[in-house]
Structure 1
Amino acid sequence: LHQHLLDGHVQCSGVEAVKELDKAQWCYQSQYSCDDTCKDPSHWAAQFPSCGGLRQSPINIVTSKVHVNSALPPFDFIGHTDVINITVENKGHSAHFHLPQSVRLTGGALPGHYRAAQFHFHWGGSGRPGSEHTIDGERFPMELHIVHIKEPYGSLAEAEHDMAGIALLAFLFEVIDSLGFISITALSLKILKMTL
């Protein structure tokens, strides 16, 4: 079943598919075409109370209310253009690309140094939007998250207890003509010599 989730759709086959969906941590309604137990982000807090706080995803960026702080220093991306070896893990709802500890982020309003732990994508299927966040209420076909952990924390579990423990960079994408993407059919895959 996990292999069928990557393209944004589930090809359901009886009880086994429902059992797998029950194990999901969360999901987007647009990702599933054969089961209505999956709730979209506006309903996450009902199923997962920790998603009901004031500093939660999804975030709607209202451009008319955005203020630029030109006093902030630029971000310093360390190791983001290096050639690296990474492991890709199929999470069922997304693919996670685990990054080496040499990839770091500082600057902006960040209160220290952050290590990039992984990046992953959120996408919809069959022309439906899949982004978690919105701009002026508009969802996008795909969103990339690069997840950073504040040093010296060693894991997301440790960092999430600090309000400044996790820094996430989000990028929203539009659809263009096919570029010949790689098809991933395994639960884990190593990609050699890739740059961010």
Structure 2
Amino acid sequence: MDANDKVIAELVQTRIKVTPEQYKDVYNKRMHPILMAQPGIIATMAGVITSENGQDSKKQADGATVLSLVIWKNVDSHIGFVTGPAAGPFFEASMPLMREPPSVEHYDVDGLQPSAFNSHFAQVLKASSATNKELLASVFKRHVTTEGAEMALFSDCTEDTSKKALILFSDADQFEATCGVMDKGTGIEHYNIEWYSRGTTRSH
């Protein structure tokens, strides 16, 4: 398969200068409908990061952080949105809410199903060292055992191939697969998300 034909996940973290509730309102009324109208969209999810590296992050003095996960049919679909007429209204709605430019990463996707797109919570883990990547692989296997293979995304970052990300999806806000792993001072970056908006063009 050509690289441009691979399903791609766009992971965007944005520190905001409004409350999560205000951001959610703008996202749901203006941004989400624009994304869902794009011909290359498979799913879009947005939420607030509730904890970062084990610390409560909902009441940070410098603003909360929101995260969006957009699944595109391929790279060309994503580029078509960014360079097309829909990008203007989308960024006009989002930019006034940002405290700083967002962090954007892309990952190849394989195996995600509507059950993941419709989940209520997620945990994102990122690692760069070989040892930590092995730990992520063990967490992935544990999560698959309890939640199923369709409820996780495990992939290298397109922009930085030294970085690997694991996203666990669940309807519960506790992730048993990571119990005991994050307590070892591994240096694995991890944060929990509560989704407030979800949409998919795929049916069950």
Same fold (TM over 0.5): no
Greater per-residue helix proportion:
2
Larger radius of gyration: 1
**TM-score category of the 2 structures, normalised to the smaller one:** under 0.3
